[in-house]
Structure 1
Amino acid sequence: MRSPQLRVPGKGWANSLFVLFFFLLALSTAARADCLDDAAIYYRLDPNLVRAIAWHESGMRPLAINRNSNGSVDVGLMQINSTWFPTLARAGIAPEHLWNACVNAYVGAWILSSNIARIGPNWKAVGAYNATSPEKQLRYANQIYARWQALQRAGASH
């Protein structure tokens, strides 16, 4: 996995997400898979990796919602955790926007991309998508790796 860079010109990540959000709203209704692929390509991620996360997180269901034992909530296709809501709000993305599969896919890919930029292009960065403790990160990364391998074997990516 290569370390992705934000490619939308602007004055920082908040501007980038804001521009990206309105670009996505202008799109016609695209298939979830296309949004996942587009988001992965935009952030220079492996499309099968992003698909594996979406499949694991929501079963590819854009309206999935899950409440966590710590009181937070996971929303949509990529199960964006409510701890991200203040950060996303600064970029003009409200929690209800995450019900849009394309917005959710791009936000999830941005989170993964940010982890890779911060941690490095490794499975620990993938584990950090879901967990903060090293043990939970390892378990999550192993689950995603298994799904990623299955997608690789099936040739699911374009």
Structure 2
Amino acid sequence: MVSKIAGAALLLAIMSNYALADCFDRAGSYYSIDPDYLRAISWQESRFNNAAINGKSAGGTTDYCMMQINSRTLADLRREYPSLNKDKLYSSPCLCIHVGAMLLRRNFNKYGLSWLAVGMYNAGMSNKQTSVQNRYNYAMLINDHYKKN
């Protein structure tokens, strides 16, 4: 009986990983972003942990789910998507991935296909020297994760 339960748990874990991989692929395809970049961001932000929460963000904001969607950004998105909330991000890893991909695509559309746009995913748009350096550092981390994929 124990071996059947362990086998079922292993099968469920494998199927969950495949489903998650499919979410990255679908979001990447929809937003014309290499899914491995999305994976690299998710790895850096949360190690693929959709229950991740970071309450230490600048300005007293909080980051949610595996793509670490910022609470201020989420509030802005609710103007377009009124039913979007942190509970939905937590309950649907695919939704979290798609929201992260949408935000990255918006950065690319506004700032071009550049490391600057990737860095802005994490460090924002401020021109303070620390933000500029944080954008660069973040982009290089994502590049390193991407190359390892």
TM-score (norm 2): 0.78
The C-alpha deviation readout for 1:97-152, integer Å capped at 9, x for no partner, is 1111011000000000000000000111000000032110000000000000111x
Letter in 2 for 1:109: A
Gaps of 5+ in 2: 1-15, 125-130
Please point out which of 64, 77, 89 is paired with 1:75.
64
Query: Hey, which bits of structure 1, 4+ residues long, moved more than 2 A?
Result: none
Kept in 2, the 8 Å contact 1:76–1:98? The answer is yes
Higher relative contact order (CA 8 A, sep 6+): 1
Letter in 1 for 2:49: R
Q: In structure 2, how many angstroms separate the alpha carbons of the residues matched to 1:69 and 1:57?
A: 12
Is the deviation greater in 98-107 or in 80-89?
80-89
After superposition, residues 56-71 of structure 1 pair within 5 angstroms as 56-70=44-58, 71=60
TM-score (norm 1): 0.74
Letter in 2 for 1:144: I
Kept in 2, the 8 Å contact 1:88–1:94? The answer is no
Gaps of 5+ in 1: 1-28, 152-158
Q: In structure 2, how many angstroms separate the alpha carbons of the residues matched to 1:88 and 1:32?
A: 23
In the TM superposition, residue 88 of structure 1 has moved relative to its aligned partner by 2.2
In the TM superposition, residue 69 of structure 1 has moved relative to its aligned partner by 4.5
Q: In structure 2, how many angstroms separate the alpha carbons of the residues matched to 1:69 and 1:149?
A: 27
Structure with the bigger percentage of helix = 2
Q: Secondary structure at the match of 2:49?
A: coil
After superposition, residues 1-158 of structure 1 pair within 5 angstroms as 31-70=19-58, 71-90=60-79, 91-92=81-82, 93-99=84-90, 100-132=92-124, 133-151=131-149
Identity of aligned residues (%): 39
Aligned length: 123
Q: Secondary structure at the match of 1:146?
A: helix
